[in-house]
């Protein structure tokens, strides 16, 4: 009698373990290989088209119910009634909540042409067969859920923002919190972006991101993402890739940051600065004058062992890996070099410029004119390898090749 009971116990435990493994796997990978390819992905034959179409029809009806707040899973305050609130008579308005569409919004001809050119360069680069980089040819369906964690969704206004660290993302996250009313201050939503504490801004629980859809919507998650990508306004902000690296180094390694010291600086000091036993805390290290150099940082980025252990940290990961610009057709591409003008233009296009202003620019911003000084002591061969590592970001977003850094 004991053996059958023991067998049944092991069977139950094995089944529970298998279920847990499946849940963990799908939470990471999600539906990456299960769904039909739509206009967001390069099509190729997939079985089960009828079932997927039924699911998409169901989602269209669900989204057309006029309750976008229910889909977002967030409890937000109802917006004040006023002349800017349009009637929700069409599917797009139902999905968007309000018509914050950029169509028809006023903008100067020069700004419109500049934005059209940026998007043209991006699309042409994605279509250019001579530009090759990892993940370029995959479809949106092939992107694992965990790689969609930078896409922040505001269902109240129909906006999707892909944040890129070291490109004004703190303030753009603040703007998204105000618009989505995802964070309350003593029971009321924040109205001024600068009132939001920095620690709340970078708390992942504050934002609704695409990687959370699988838990909420299960098998419908990819379809729902695609519908939102089709109907919402999508934007990102980018920066000269080399200047972004300098900015990341300055903020994470020139200032006392315990987390980055333990996770990154200590291994760099061991591997590239010949320190077998670096101090155990950033305070001790800085007190002893031991700091990671910019050259150590570049060595770390170029070392093939780095990404064998873990993907690049988001502060120096390439933009094409964070935001998937060849799989997602962005409506607006802003640049840090023209942040003030681009931010004002985008808020006008979204018709929210009457509700809030983009916070003032940080005046101690890392400047592109610093590049030559920072790279002066970096060997030419390293600079050339580094360019190859970030070449896709240069080309996709129209940044000129830094020839002055890549030749003697």
Contact (CB, 8 A) for 74 and 62: no
Q: Which residue from 386, 346, 357, 38 is spatially nearest to 222, judged by alpha carbons? A: 38
At residue 71, the pLDDT reads 35
The full length of the chain comes to 408
Distance separating alpha carbons of residues 109 and 111, to the nearest angstrom:
6
Per-residue pLDDT of the chain (408 residues; tens, 9 = 90+): 566 677 677 777 776 666 555 544 444 444 333 333 333 333 333 334 444 455 555 555 555 433 333 333 444 333 333 333 333 333 322 332 323 333 344 556 788 999 999 999 999 999 999 999 999 999 999 999 999 999 999 999 999 999 999 999 999 999 999 999 999 999 999 999 999 999 999 999 999 999 999 988 998 999 999 999 999 999 999 999 999 999 999 999 999 999 999 999 999 999 999 999 999 999 999 999 999 999 999 999 999 999 999 999 999 999 999 999 999 999 999 999 999 999 999 999 999 999 899 998 665 566 667 899 999 999 999 999 999 999 999 999 999 999 999 997
- pTM here is 0.77
Q: 363-394 burial, b for 16+ CB within 10 Å, e for fewer?
A: eeebebeebeebbeebeeeebeebbebbbbbb
At residue 266, the pLDDT reads 98
Residue 148 region by backbone torsions, left for phi larger than 0, else alpha for psi between -120 and 50, else beta: alpha
Quickly list DSSP for 19-72: HHHHHHHHHHHTTTTTS---TTS-----S-HHHHHHHHHHHHHHHTTS-HHHHH
**Element containing residue 234 per DSSP (H, E):** strand 233-238
Q: Which residue from 302, 319, 316 is spatially nearest to 268, judged by alpha carbons? A: 302
CA distances from 219 to 26, 37, 222, 327, 407 (A): 10, 15, 7, 20, 52
Q: SS3 of 160, please?
A: strand
> How far is residue 254 CA from its own chain's centroid?
25
Distance separating alpha carbons of residues 213 and 226, to the nearest angstrom:
12
């Amino acid at each position: 009698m004991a053996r059958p009971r023991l067998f049944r116990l092991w069977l139950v435990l094995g089944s529970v373990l298998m279920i847990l493994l499946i849940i963990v796997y799908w939470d990471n990978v999600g539906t990456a290989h299960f769904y039909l390819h739509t206009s967001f992905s390069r099509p190729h034959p997939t079985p089960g088209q009828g079932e997927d179409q039924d699911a998409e029809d169901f989602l269209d009806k669900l989204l057309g119910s006029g309750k976008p707040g229910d889909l977002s899973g967030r409890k937000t305050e109802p917006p004040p009634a006023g002349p800017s609130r349009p009637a929700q008579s069409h599917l797009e308005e139902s999905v968007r909540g309000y018509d914050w569409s950029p169509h028809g919004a006023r903008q100067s001809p020069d700004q419109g042409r500049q934005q059209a050119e940026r998007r043209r360069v991006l699309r042409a680069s994605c279509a250019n067969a001579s530009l090759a980089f990892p993940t370029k040819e995959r479809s949106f369906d092939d992107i694992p859920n965990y790689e969609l964690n930078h896409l922040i969704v505001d269902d109240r206004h129909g906006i999707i923002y892909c944040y890129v660290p070291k490109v004004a993302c703190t303030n753009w996250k603040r703007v998204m919190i105000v618009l989505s009313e995802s964070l309350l201050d003593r029971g009321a939503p924040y109205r001024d972006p600068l009132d939001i504490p920095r620690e709340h801004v970078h708390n992942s629980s504050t934002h609704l991101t695409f990687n959370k859809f699988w838990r909420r919507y299960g098998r419908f998650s990819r379809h729902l993402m695609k519908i939102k990508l089709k109907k919402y306004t999508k934007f990102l902000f980018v920066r000269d890739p080399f200047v972004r690296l300098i900015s990341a180094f300055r903020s994470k390694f020139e200032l006392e940051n315990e987390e980055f010291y333990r996770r990154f600086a200590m291994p760099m000091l061991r591997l590239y600065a010949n320190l077998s036993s670096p101090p155990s805390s950033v305070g001790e290290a800085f007190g002893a004058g031991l700091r990671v150099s910019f050259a150590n940082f570049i060595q770390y980025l170029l070392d093939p062992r780095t990404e064998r252990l873990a993907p690049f940290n988001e502060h120096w990961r390439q933009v094409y890996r964070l935001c998937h610009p060849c799989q997602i057709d962005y409506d607006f591409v802003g640049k840090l070099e023209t942040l003030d003008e681009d931010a004002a233009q985008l808020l006008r296009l979204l018709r929210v410029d009457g509700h809030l202003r983009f916070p003032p620019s940080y005046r101690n911003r890392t400047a592109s004119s610093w590049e030559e000084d920072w790279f002066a002591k970096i060997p030419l061969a390293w600079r050339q390898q580094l360019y190859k590592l970030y070449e896709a970001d240069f080309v996709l977003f129209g940044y000129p090749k830094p020839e002055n850094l890549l030749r003697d």
